[in-house]
Amino acid sequence: MKDLESLSATQAIKALSKREIKATDLLLSCLDRIGQKESVVKAWASLGKENALSRAKQLDKGAFQGLLHGLPIGVKDLYDTYDLPTSYGSPIYANHYPVADAVAVALLRQSGAIILGKTVTTEFATFKSGLTTNPHNPKHTPGGSSSGSASAVADFMVPLATGSQTAGSIIRPASFCGVVGFKPSHGKVSIAGIKSLSVTLDTMGCFGRTVEDVGLGVAAMSGDHRLAKIEVLHNKPRIAICKTSSWPFAQKETATALAVARHAAERVAKGTVIDQKLPKTCDGLTQAQTRIMISEMSRSLTFERVHYAKKLSPQLLKQLSEGAEISYEQYAKDLSLADKSRAAMEDLFNNEVDILIAPSANGEAPLTKDGTGDPLFSRAWTLLGLPCININVGTGPNGLPVGVQLIAGPGKDHFLLSAARAFTLALPDPTLRDQA
């Protein structure tokens, strides 16, 4: 079997389980690809080649271990790993070796995954970009903060990589890099052993090349193995387009992407796809998410700000200062708005709609000099804690990918995966259907 690095996670695991390929050969193929492309893409903060090869050889000799047996994986450098440095994207933690794996990493290893290395994250998963480039055009950003993970999967360096989202750090880079990004329900994956910015918002997920891939990844990371088997939709789901109040900031390619998405959704729904506004209760949710995030950040990074301020970027110091100025009364008010909004959205999903389709980002990936892109179109969904998945549906004026996100009701992660696969198979471009 040639070009093993181009296999999706699902394809690779099927071949590994049948012993049609060896974990060692798959790993070496990924390492060869990294050797060819890393000087341009710069997706990796560190690689653990020797440990990974040793692990692959053990797996090739032993019994089939679990959901991800023999699969090379990239881990965002926000997750603790006992055998690889974990810097959280900051010079403060250069050469920092945690004593234990994050819970999600430990579960990935238990499922048979091979941790190939740590992927680049922005500084503490905020907005100061790292060196990573977009595999489709190195002059453009891959998005943040899960930049290395999205780029590594998009460039066939690994079939699966972990990410995290506090504002838009899974969905946006997935859209910019043209891969599937799955942000499950808030709390689905443990944040223990992960450098936290905001306990209210931090959500762990992953990137893959197909819907099945990310289902497998989150199944292993969470222990919810139902996600590893995506069921076929047998009903006609109620699907709606939700442009959100941020629609005036959408670029032309995003409008085109939603039009393509509507057509595909109508095939899935076997009927009309309506436009849906969010409940009135949700007004101001995007602004509330921003305040909650920077308020909690200012407390989460207190130690670093007090002891290592000179090693923090000016952008981050400014955010921490702004967060510290938010009164606790305002913070509590924003949390209350979030609670009321979640209740209103639960009613909406129970009574009116099963799936919402919304923009993943303003448009295609901007130039690197202009930053990692705006998380505007993901902020509210992150605060609501709803499961979201990015699917690539087209390209922008520079030929870069443009995605849309599908959103399901509270805790409906399994249903979302089923709907996303059905939606992907309904896309007009046969190449895009490969994301199923």
DSSP 90-131: SGGGTT---SS--HHHHHHHHTT-EEEEEE---GGGSSS--S
Is 6 a catalytic site residue?
A: no
Q: Among residues 8, 111, 145, 146, which one is catalytic? A: 145
Q: Among residues 129, 151, 169, 222, which one is catalytic? A: 169
pLDDT by position in tens, the chain (length 436): 669 999 999 999 999 999 999 999 999 999 999 999 999 999 999 999 999 999 999 999 988 999 999 999 999 999 999 999 999 999 999 999 999 999 999 999 999 999 999 999 999 999 888 899 999 999 999 999 999 999 999 999 999 999 999 999 999 999 999 999 999 999 999 999 999 999 999 999 999 999 999 999 999 999 999 999 999 998 899 999 999 999 999 999 999 999 999 999 999 999 999 999 999 999 999 999 999 999 999 999 999 999 999 999 999 999 999 999 999 999 999 999 999 999 999 999 999 999 999 999 999 999 999 999 999 999 999 999 999 999 999 999 999 999 999 999 999 999 999 999 999 999 999 999 999 9
Q: In which residue are the tokens 């443009």 written?
A: 402
Give start-end residues of each CATH 3.90.1300.10 domain in the chain.
4-228
Number of other residues whose CB lies within 10 A of the CB of residue 231: 11
Is 169 a catalytic site residue?
A: yes
Q: In which residue are the tokens 């690809």 written?
A: 33
Q: Which residues contact 333 (CB under 8 A, 6 or more apart)?
A: none
298-331 burial code (b ≥16 CB/10 A, e <16): bebbeebbeeeeeebbeebeebbeebeebeeeeb
What is the C-alpha separation between 95 and 74, in angstroms, rounded?
Answer: 18
Give start-end residues of each CATH 3.40.190 domain in the chain.
239-281+341-433
Strand extents, DSSP E, 321-366: 355-359
SS3 401: strand
Q: Among residues 42, 76, 183, 195, which one is catalytic? A: 76
What is the C-alpha separation between 434 and 425, in angstroms, rounded?
Answer: 8
The yes/no answer on whether domain 4-228 falls in CATH 3.40.367.20 is: no
Burial of 99 (0-12, 13-18, 19+ CB in 10 A): exposed
Local structure of residue 18 (DSSP, 8 states): T
Note the CATH architecture for domain 239-281+341-433: 3-Layer(aba) Sandwich (3.40)
SS3 295: helix
pTM for the predicted model, two decimal places: 0.98
Q: Are 362 and 250 in contact (CB under 8 A)?
A: yes
Is 111 a catalytic site residue?
A: no
388-400 burial code (b ≥16 CB/10 A, e <16): bbbbbbbbbeeeb
